[in-house]
Every structure is written in structure tokens, then in C-alpha cells.
Amino acid sequence: MNQLASMKNFKKYIPLMKELITRDLKVKYRRSVLGYLWSLLNPLMMMAILTMIFSQIFRFNIPNYPLYLICGQTLWSFFNESTNQAMYSVLYNGALLKKVYIPKYIFPVSRVLSSFVTMSFSLLAIVIVLLVTRTPLHWTILLFPVPLVFLLLFSIGVGMVLSALSVYFRDVVHLYSVVTLAWMYMTPIFYSLDIVPEKVAFLIRCNPMYHYITFFRELLLYGQIPTAGVWIFCGISSLGALAIGVLIFRKLQRNFILYL
Amino acid sequence: MTQNIIEINHVDMRFNLAEEKTDTIKEYFVKLLRGKLHFSEFYAVKDVSFNIKKGESVALIGRNGSGKSTLLKIIAGVLYPSSGSVSVHGSIAPLIELGAGFDMELTARENIYLNGAVLGFDRDFMNQHFQEIIEFSELQQFVDVPVKNYSSGMIARLGFSIATIVKADVLVVDEILAVGDYKFQQKCHERMSQLLAGGTTLLFVSHSEEQVKELCQKAIWLDHGKAMAIGDVDEVYRAYHQATD
């Protein structure tokens, strides 16, 4: 009964979801001359700089380093941006929440989705790198949406937890910036897993982000389909994060209004 | 036979005064350890029950801090009552109140679409009514100015125009007419009368007895969160004046 009502509710709020996503995209590039082009330029420029640093100065020996790098970097920056934005989403929309009933999960979810749209523009940057580096194209490339969907669900879950907690404790906001820094270094974005000591490598293998990124790279760079174990790990971690996010959010949302 | 559109049964709204000040995790645990978390309780609304029928216009009256706005927020679904039940059979327009419910960074144009979407209306519907909203609010010149640059009167105009154009079943108006200039007050008044004639249910908070009597048939007098009198506007005002004078 309740479930049915909330499904119906969801349909009613699709226009709102669309409106919030377009708002995010508009605000993001407001008053910049190049606008959406930045979604393309930004990852390319970052890649160029990081490639210079890590292949010239630190001399990492990873074949097709630019592509290796931009794959990891695109997925990571999506995760980083979307969860950070989601964290503030309920706080920022306090004015609206105080005025009219809206299902509150709309805010973190729409934030993550708008980052997802931005990331889709950035995928074009990956295509450019694929072409420029003359990487042989494998048919496995067609499966590229799979790891992205895993990542999307995972980010929604994490975003929901953060957005709910940050309403009660603003400390979460400060803490999370440190957590993401540690998390970034624990994710092989610019290095590969072979160069880290075994103890650390074990830790990194527990990191879902490592698996989503590796999944994506296997498809694009190496033309391989990941083993069943990887699929299962990715599936469980993303759905698990989503479930935990929904549970915590539902439990906490009732009293949001008192803390906004 | 007219049906109840709003049913309120034994609604309590309890605020925890100490709890609200806990903003950081450290503070939270310090208080938890000292057993000081659920500190003093405050009832903003206490055991209020009433029904409102479709098409009725009801005023909430009472002194500042008597729980009027809290009750409106509960009805609008913004606050959850601590106990009791509220059921509303129909759509509710965004609470029109002083201060904004807008995204300050966005322009009036964008806020109109956003607010429409909040009520479940898509772009097509809002496109059809966009002109009407702008004309009513008389903000033609400022459509593409971010709302943060608006005056409070302008924000109130915009809020009122949006909330009344979408023709929700219930309109909730919290002391908005206090900021508009005289002419705009007249316009709002006319618009509300029109909506009432069209079957909209109105919930109205105002400190102006004149306005209340013009618009509403029924009134509910709240004092310290309790409903002291419910009924015909004139009778409730009589009781109210007797008690306060």
C-alpha cells in the first residue's frame, strides 16, 4: 500500500527531477564563456598535466598511460563531485523543503544524476584520447555502460548517507573532504596495483571504486570481460551501498526540517 | 454533501529545545554522556482536532507564537506531527509566507519552472501559464534577474502569483498580504475570492481582522498551541477579544 503510493509519488515528481538536473547544469557553467565545453576540456587538461608528471617525473611504466589515466580520473571525479554535491543538497534546498512537501530523496538523487550527465560529456574526452593514441578498438567497449551503472548506484547510496548525516552534523562536511583525499590515494587512478606492497594491495581490493575503474579499463584498454567474481563484487557493493543509503535516509528524513 | 478535505485528529507538535542546539558530533556526545539530550520540551501545538470541508475558507487567529504557522506547516506536510494524524485529500500549493521559498541564485523565470515542478507540473503546463504569472506579479522587467536581488515585496508577489496560478485544491497563506502595497493587496484579495468561488479551500493566517472577515467564514483561535474556539468567524473573534482585552 505504502510502496504503491510512493511509486505513484515518484511519477509525479519526474518533472521536478528534470528541473533540478537542468538547474544544476545551468548553474555549474553560468557566466563561463566556454560553458559545457569545460566538461570536455577539464578532463583533457588534467590528463595532460598528470601524464606529464607521472610519466616524465615519476616514470611510471604503464602502457598507454594517457588512456589509463583518463579512465580512472573521469570515473573518480564523477564519484567525488556527485557525492560532494549530494552531501550539500538537502542543506541547500532547505528553503524549498520548508515551504512545500517534496519527497526529500529527490535532492541527493538529482545531484548525482546531474553529475552523471556532466560525466557523459566527459566520456567524449575519453573517445578523443582513444582516437589520438590510436588504441586498437575492442568490441568489449560496447559494454562500457555496465561499470558506469554500478558506479552510479554506488554514488547514489553514498550521496544519500552523506546528505542525511550532514543535516544533523555539519562536521560530516569537513570530515568527508579528508576521507575523499585518503580514498583517492587508495584508488589506483594514476598508479597501477602492481607497484604497491601486498598489504596495501589487499586493502585496495576491498575498495569498490578500484573495481569499477578496473572494470571500465578492462573493457576499453585491454578488450577483456572481467571475471564473474568482479561482476558479483561490483553488483553487491553498488546495490549494498544503495540499500544502506535508502535505509539511513528514510530513517533520518523525518526530522530534517528541524535542523535546516 | 461536501466532503472533508482536511482532517486533523489530536495533533501534537513537540519541539525539543535542547536537542536543536546540538550541531556538532562532539556536542552531541558530550550531551549524551551527561544525559542532557532530551532536555526541555515545548508544545507548539497541543491536541488540536478539526475538519475542514472542501471549498471552505478558514482563518487561523491568535497571538504571535500561538502555533498558527506550525499548524500550517503540519497541514502542508512540511512538518511531521509528534502524535496525532493529519490527512489531506487533494493537492496543496506551496506555503505562501514571508521570506522566500526560492532558489536565490536563480532568476524569476527559472524559479517559476522550479516551483511548478515542485507541484508536479511539467514545462508545457508552465509555459502556458508563464505569461499569466508574470503579468499578475507585475515583474515583467525583472524576469531574468536573480531572485536574490529582489525586495521582500517582490518576492511575495512572485510567490503569490505562482501558488495561485497552479490551482491547487488547498491554498495556504501565511501573513503574506502584510508586505504588498495597497494595490497589490487588492489584487491578491480578488484572486483569492475568485479561487474560493472556484472551489479552492483556503487556509489563511492574518493579524488583520478586516481581511479575515472579508475572506473567511470560519475561524480557529489558537492560544499556546491549543484550539480555544472553532466556528463562525464573528463568534470566534468575539471570544478572542473577550479573552485578550
Cβ pairs A/B, distance under 8 A? 80
Chain A residues in contact with B25 by the CB 8 A cut-off are: 169, 171
What is the 3-state composition of chain B as percent helix, strand, coil, each rounded to the nearest 5? 40, 25, 30
Distance of CA B5 to the CA centre of its chain: 16
Q: Contact at 8 Å (CB) between B215 and B193?
A: yes
Contact A100 B28 (CB under 8 A): no
Q: Which of A3-7, B70-74, B88-92, B224-228 has the lowest mean pLDDT?
A: A3-7
Q: Cell 521536478 maps to which residue?
A: A16
Average pLDDT for chain A: 88
| DSSP symbol at A253 | G
With cut-offs at 50, 70 and 90, classify the pLDDT of residue B233.
confident
CA R_g for chain B: 20
Distance of alpha carbon B191 from alpha carbon B133, whole angstroms: 12
B→A contacts (Cβ < 8 Å), by residue, are: 15, 20, 23-26, 28, 73, 76-80, 92-95, 97, 100-106, 110, 113-114, 116-123
The C-alpha cell of A257 is what? 526540517
Checking if the pLDDT of A1 tops 60, the result is no
The C-alpha cell of A72 is what? 580512472
Longest dimension (CA), chain B: 59
Of A165, A146, A208, A164, which Cα lies nearest the Cα of A183?
A208
Distance of alpha carbon B5 from alpha carbon A196, whole angstroms: 66
Contact A18 B117 (CB under 8 A): yes
Nearest CA in chain B to A9: B120
**In a 3-state reduction of DSSP, which class is residue B95?**
coil
Average pLDDT for chain B: 82
User: Residues B51, B55, B61, B66: is their CA dihedral positive or negative?
Assistant: positive
**CA separation, residue A192 to residues A62, A82, A147, A197, B167 (Å):** 8, 24, 19, 11, 59
Nearest CA in chain A to B28: A169
According to the per-residue pLDDT averaged within each range, which of A145-154, A187-196, B67-76, B221-230 is highest? A145-154
CA R_g for chain A: 19
Enumerate the H helices of chain B as residue ranges: 25-34, 68-75, 108-118, 123-137, 152-165, 182-197, 209-215, 233-244
**In a 3-state reduction of DSSP, which class is residue B230?**
strand
Checking if the pLDDT of A86 tops 70, the result is yes
Domain layout of chain A by residue ranges: 2-259
Of A120, A139, A133, which Cα lies nearest the Cα of A43?
A120
The C-alpha cell of A78 is what? 564523477
Contact A16 B118 (CB under 8 A): yes
> What backbone torsions phi and psi does residue A133 show, to the nearest 5 degrees?
-85, 0
User: Do β-strands B83-88 and B4-16 pair in parallel, antiparallel, or remain unpaired?
Assistant: antiparallel
Residues 6 or more apart whose Cβ sits within 8 Å of residue B242: none
**In a 3-state reduction of DSSP, which class is residue A182?**
helix
Provide the pLDDT for residue B64: 85
With cut-offs at 50, 70 and 90, classify the pLDDT of residue A234.
very high
Contact B25 A98 (CB under 8 A): no
Chain B residues in contact with A93 by the CB 8 A cut-off are: 103
User: Do β-strands B41-53 and B4-16 pair in parallel, antiparallel, or remain unpaired?
Assistant: antiparallel
Tens digits of residue pLDDT in B184-215: 888 888 888 888 888 888 888 888 888 888 88
Residues 6 or more apart whose Cβ sits within 8 Å of residue B32: none
Edge-to-edge order in the sheet of strand B83-88: B41-53, B4-16, B83-88
Q: Residues for chain B: how many in total?
A: 245
Task: For each of the domains in chain B, give its residue range(s) and CATH number, in order of start.
Answer: 56-80+91-244 (3.40.50.300)
Of B204, B169, B176, B160, which Cα lies nearest the Cα of B87?
B169
A→B contacts (Cβ < 8 Å), by residue, are: 12-13, 15-16, 18-20, 23, 26-27, 93, 95-102, 169-171, 254-255, 257-259
pTM, to two decimals: 0.83
Of A239, A175, A186, A181, which Cα lies nearest the Cα of A210?
A186
According to the per-residue pLDDT averaged within each range, which of A49-58, A103-112, A136-145, A149-158 is highest? A149-158
Contact B76 A259 (CB under 8 A): no
